[in-house]
């Protein structure tokens, strides 16, 4: 595809990436020394996933003294911000707020990618395709026209010409976002936390207990028996957020089990390499499948965007962390229909992660209803990663009183107790 660029990885890149990981470990020791010396914080951010890390970063840029905590480390294997890759896209139908947030985040992702020894943002484009001119597609086209954002409309003959490796049966047209592409999720979060520490922020490994009730929050307690205090607090804990605030969010955020698969293209077959295939999503009448080309030789990634069964992120049940035979069968059947050359190829990787869904898919970025010095950030709902920089900026501005207008869709009160997905 014209405009695609391959990333060249050098020994210097690898050494820089390793140095970043070592910096995170050293940061924990420095943070404990500062805490022992009695140094206070303006804000404590609990959760070093994509939302928490960007919030801490923006608060630090505002001059705040920030402590960032995480129970298992940035983008750890149980976190929703872990794993290999995530999609950037601005195609959101009539949900302009997410189109704008995704676009506003892109510059930050490009900056972070330049700071990393290895690429975080792969500018290979994103293609979403449709069986007909349905409202979601038409609304997306109108939103891009109104905002002045590029969106290429590819009719079926052009799809056949550009991407013959895809079977286009039942597809009328596609929408290509040439300026967007995949993000390397784990690398992104860990690089950002390293940058935050280098900018004077503090990070440490610590598990936090559910806050007690009361008129105000005056510290967070850790499982190690410490009480850490600041003027303000942010909780950005992904699927653990309902467990920290069970009475408020236990029935409003739904962690669900999601399966991801990687397949090996045939040796020597470059049709599924990033220079030949963008990130893609098959709208499929709202029952979305999506994936990536063979990024960094990891394999062709594919997942079904349907919400899975509810899951406990702390579960030790083997079935909660292993893909199901039914899930693999479903993906193989989809490959037969849309990517036939991969239908019988070896499965080389698989992972179970989780979404944390709000009732309709909207994000949560709001003050705690009882504690004015606490902001809750979460409900990524399977589409939140790309918005990380904008979410962090919004949360930081909300916490510090800089936000001129509060988005009602991000409020706690807008979150229902039954799932009815509306945001794709």
Higher pLDDT, 178 or 29: 178
Token reading at 394 = 């919004």
Work out the average pLDDT over 264-283: 98
pLDDT band at 248 (very low <50, low <70, confident <90, very high): very high
Residue 14 pLDDT: 38
What residue spans define the domains of the chain?
11-81+186-253+360-410, 112-183+254-357
Q: How many CB atoms lie within 10 A of CB 319?
A: 11
Work out the average pLDDT over 14-39: 44
| C-beta separation of 66 from 43 below 8 A | yes
Residue 322 pLDDT: 85
Lowest mean pLDDT, pick from 16-25, 103-112, 199-208, 252-261: 16-25
CA angle 136, 140, 145 (to 5 degrees): 155
Residue 11 pLDDT: 40
Looking at the chain, the whole-number percentage of residues with pLDDT higher than 70 is 90
User: Which residue's entry shows tokens 């996933």?
Assistant: 49
* Domain 11-81+186-253+360-410 of CATH type 3.50.50.60: yes
Residue 149 pLDDT: 98
* Domain 112-183+254-357 of CATH type 3.30.9.10: yes
| C-beta separation of 400 from 101 below 8 A | no
Work out the average pLDDT over 320-330: 91
Residue 18 pLDDT: 40
Q: For residues 63 and 56, what is the distance between their CA atoms, to the nearest angstrom?
A: 11
Task: Give per-residue pLDDT as tens, 119-169.
Answer: 999 999 999 999 999 999 999 999 999 999 999 999 999 999 999 999 999
Does residue 113 have a pLDDT over 70? yes
Does residue 250 have a pLDDT over 50? yes
pLDDT band at 29 (very low <50, low <70, confident <90, very high): very low
Does residue 396 have a pLDDT over 50? yes
Residue 423 pLDDT: 81
344: Cβ–Cβ under 8 A, 6 or more apart, which residues?
none
Q: For residues 285 and 272, what is the distance between their CA atoms, to the nearest angstrom?
A: 25
CA angle 195, 199, 203 (to 5 degrees): 70
Does residue 32 have a pLDDT over 50? no
Work out the average pLDDT over 173-188: 98
| C-beta separation of 159 from 129 below 8 A | yes
3-class DSSP state for residue 95?
Answer: coil
β-bridge mates for residue 262, sequence order: 301, 349
pLDDT band at 34 (very low <50, low <70, confident <90, very high): very low
pLDDT band at 4 (very low <50, low <70, confident <90, very high): very low
Higher pLDDT, 83 or 231: 231
């Amino acid at each position: 595809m014209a405009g695609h660029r391959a990333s060249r990885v050098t020994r210097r890149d690898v050494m820089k990436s390793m140095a970043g990981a070592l910096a995170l470990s050293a940061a924990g020791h420095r943070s404990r020394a500062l805490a022992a010396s009695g140094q206070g914080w303006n804000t404590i951010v609990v959760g070093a996933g994509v939302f928490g890390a960007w919030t801490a970063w923006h608060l630090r840029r505002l001059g705040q003294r920030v402590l960032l905590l995480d129970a298992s480390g940035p983008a750890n294997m149980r976190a929703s911000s872990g794993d290999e890759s995530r999609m950037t896209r601005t195609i959101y139908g009539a949900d302009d707020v997410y189109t704008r947030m995704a676009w506003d985040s892109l510059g930050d992702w490009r900056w972070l990618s330049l700071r990393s020894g290895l690429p975080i943002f792969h500018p290979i484009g994103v293609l979403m395709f449709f069986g007909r001119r349905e409202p979601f597609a038409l609304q997306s086209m109108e939103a891009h026209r109104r905002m002045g954002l590029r969106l290429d409309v590819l009719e079926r003959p052009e799809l056949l010409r550009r991407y013959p490796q895809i079977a286009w049966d039942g597809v009328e047209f596609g929408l290509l976002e040439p300026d967007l592409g995949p993000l390397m999720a784990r690398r992104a979060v860990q690089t950002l936390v390293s940058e935050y520490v280098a900018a004077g922020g503090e990070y440490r490994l610590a598990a936090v207990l559910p806050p007690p009730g009361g008129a105000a929050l005056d510290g967070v307690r850790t499982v190690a028996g410490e009480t850490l205090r600041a003027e303000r607090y942010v909780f950005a804990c992904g699927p653990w957020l309902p467990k920290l605030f069970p009475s408020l969010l236990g029935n409003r955020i739904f962690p669900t089990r999601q399966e991801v698969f990687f397949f090996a293209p045939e040796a020597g077959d470059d049709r599924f390499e990033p220079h030949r295939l963008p990130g893609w999503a098959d709208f499929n009448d709202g029952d979305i499948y999506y994936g990536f080309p063979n990024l960094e030789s990891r394999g062709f990634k594919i997942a079904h965007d349907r919400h899975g069964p509810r899951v406990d992120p702390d579960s030790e049940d083997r079935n909660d962390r292993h893909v199901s035979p039914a899930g693999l069968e479903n993906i193989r059947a989809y490959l037969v229909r849309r990517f036939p050359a991969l239908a019988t190829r070896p499965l080389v990787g698989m992972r179970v992660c989780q979404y944390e869904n709000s009732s309709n898919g909207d994000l949560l970025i709001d003050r705690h209803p009882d504690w004015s010095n606490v902001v809750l950030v979460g409900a990524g709902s399977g589409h939140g990663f790309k918005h990380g920089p904008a979410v962090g900026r919004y949360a930081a501005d909300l916490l510090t009183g800089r936000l001129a207008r509060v988005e009602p869709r991000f409020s706690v009160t807008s979150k229902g107790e039954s799932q009815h997905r509306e945001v794709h």
